[in-house]
Amino acid sequence: MERTLSIIKPDGVAKNVIGEVIRRFETSGIKIAAMKMIQLTKPQAQGFYAVHKQRPFFDSLTDFMTSGPIVVMILEGEDVIAQNRKLMGATNFKDAEEGTIRKDYATDIEKNVVHGSDAPETAAFEIGYFFNDLEIQQR
């Protein structure tokens, strides 16, 4: 069993697709082990995306991520990191496969509806960034 961090970004919340995104996870057999809605401060967004701090879009990305509420979830399942990335689609919605979340709902390379951890090490860091043990369902 594996865990990953998923975020419905401010554009996804604003487009009223929270339920649609969660439906895709649940119908794929993925379990939700923790969930909350929060609004990040700029320092919190900068800390989360620290790996991207040298990238030209870092300031724009962290502004966007603080622009409204987000839904943060821990997803659980077999191979869930890769499974979630497949459901999300490519970073740029123009390159995303048909039927993926980003293909269906993203409008911009930055405003791409969802985040998902890309490896076990990043998943562990990202889960710990948002949740403590008491907030995670132990099955």
**Residues with catalytic roles:** 115
Task: Please say which residue, 38 or 137, places its beta carbon nearer to ligand GDP.
Answer: 38
Task: Please say which residue, 97 or 135, places its beta carbon nearer to ligand GDP.
Answer: 97
Alpha-carbon span 88 to 115, nearest angstrom: 8
Binding site for ligand GDP (CB under 6 A): 57, 60-61, 91, 109-110, 112, 115, 118
- Non-local CB neighbours of 3 within 8 Å, separated by 6+ positions: 33, 74, 75, 76, 80, 123, 127
Q: What is the DSSP string of 42-53?
A: HHHHHHHTGGGT
What values do phi and psi take at 8, rounded to 5?
A: -90, 115
Alpha-carbon span 38 to 41, nearest angstrom: 10
Task: Please say which residue, 46 or 112, places its beta carbon nearer to ligand GDP.
Answer: 112
Write out the H or E segment, with its range, that includes residue 73: strand 70-77
